Amino acid sequence: MGHTAGNIVVHLIFSTKARLPLITSGLRDDLFTYLGGIVREMQGTALIVNGTVDHVHMLVRIRPAQSAAEVARVVKANSSRWVRGKWNTDFAWQTG
C-alpha cells in the first residue's frame, strides 16, 4: 500500500589528511571510480565525483534510510583502506 519515495541529494566534500596533495594523476581516475562504486554498493547513485590533488567533491543521491554522515563515513573508510592496499601508501582522509 504505502511507498516511500525520496530524492535526497547530498554534496560531500572531504580532504586528504593535512590537505596533502596525495591524489596524484595516476590515482585520480581509479579513486573517483572506486568512490562511485562504494555509493552504488550502498544503493545510492554517484551523480558526480571530482576533485583536486587534496580534496574530493561528490554529488550523491542517497536512500531516505541513510544519513549523509553514514555515507561519508563508509566512503572515506573504504576508499582510504583501498588506496593504502593498492598503492602501498600512507593515504588518509581528514578526520572531523
Q: Which domain holds residue 77?
A: 8-82
Q: Does residue 95 lie within any of the structural domains?
A: no
Q: Does residue 52 lie within any of the structural domains?
A: yes
Q: Does residue 89 lie within any of the structural domains?
A: no
Q: Grid coordinates in use for 53?
A: 590533488
Q: How confident is the model at residue 3 (pLDDT cuts 50, 70, 90)?
A: confident
Handedness of CA 77, 79, 83, 85 (dihedral sign): positive
Q: Does residue 61 lie within any of the structural domains?
A: yes
Q: Does residue 55 lie within any of the structural domains?
A: yes
pTM over 0.75: yes
Per the structure, how many domains does the chain have? Answer: 1
pLDDT over 70 at 12, yes or no = yes
Please name which of 19, 60, 64 lies closest in space to residue 38, comparing C-alpha atoms. Answer: 60
Q: Does residue 96 lie within any of the structural domains?
A: no
Q: Does residue 88 lie within any of the structural domains?
A: no
pLDDT tens-digit readout, 28-83: 999 999 999 999 999 999 999 999 999 999 999 999 999 999 999 999 999 999 99
Q: Does residue 42 lie within any of the structural domains?
A: yes
Element of type H or E holding 26: helix 25-41
Q: What is the CATH number of the domain that holds 44?
A: 3.30.70.1290
